[in-house]
Amino acid sequence: MKRRDFITMLSGAAAAWPLAARAQQQGERIRRIGVLMGYPEGDPQAQANVTALRQGLQDLGWTEGRNVLIEYRHADISAGPLPEAHYDFISCIASLHHVPFETVKSLREALTPGGVLVILGLAKPSRPTDYALWLAAAPMNVLARLVVALGERLNGGPEPRLRPPLKDEYPTLTEIRRESAVLLPGSTVRPLLFWRYLLTYTQPQAHRPL
């Protein structure tokens, strides 16, 4: 019985995958999920992400210790190698823009044939259509911030968090499209609201390292 592995990078959000719901219908198996976080251990946001991940999986019928094992690591994805051809699914949720884009090379080589890499990233607009989309999202962004601020105020204020200094520099969508065409041939890049993009790549069945 083949064991499938998954890995996700979490930064500000946790995710469960529709793929899990389909796999659950195939019978009871032990699956392994690798969770790699850039937050330091003990950070409230990291703990909230883990809680949301567990809850999302449980809602899909996956219970930690019964039919799924979860491995948590706090590490720099750009510094440590991943096992080659090991994971069927890798997702980067609001995290890849904090490391060099070339990091996708190690993520690509960690995919099994037919494996999928999904990146929800942050990038600057570069085409007129990109600017139009982001301008349309500006009022919604203001409204979302007001709702969050109101919720925090009603709950006694925002929770204390570690806030390391960040370098507010992001690639443009043109750079993302250009580099992904070279490093992830056949991938698609779709601009989204709130200054985000969705990149999807599927590892060819007869993949050879680039």
Q: Which domain holds residue 110?
A: 5-124+168-202
Relative to beta strand 111-122, strand 31-37 is unpaired
pLDDT value at position 68?
A: 82
Question: Is 183 a domain residue?
Answer: yes
pLDDT value at position 27?
A: 54
Question: Is 141 a domain residue?
Answer: no
pLDDT value at position 14?
A: 37
CA atoms within 13 A on the CB side of 99: 22
Positive or negative, the CA dihedral 65, 112, 7, 93 is: negative
Question: Is 142 a domain residue?
Answer: no
Q: What is the pLDDT along the chain (210 residues), one digit of tens a residue?
A: 344 555 565 544 334 343 444 444 455 667 777 777 766 677 777 788 788 888 888 888 888 888 888 877 777 777 767 888 888 888 888 888 878 899 899 999 989 899 999 999 998 888 888 777 777 777 777 787 788 778 877 887 766 665 656 666 788 999 999 999 999 999 999 988 878 899 999 999 876 655
Report how far residue 28's alpha carbon sits from residue 175's, in angstroms, rounded to the nearest whole number. Answer: 43
pLDDT value at position 131?
A: 78
Phi, psi at 108, each rounded to 5°: -60, -45
Question: Is 157 a domain residue?
Answer: no
pTM above 0.75, yes or no: no
For residue 50, give the 3-state DSSP assignment.
helix
Question: Is 172 a domain residue?
Answer: yes
Question: Is 88 a domain residue?
Answer: yes
CATH classification at residue 40: 3.40.50.150
Number of domains in the chain: 1
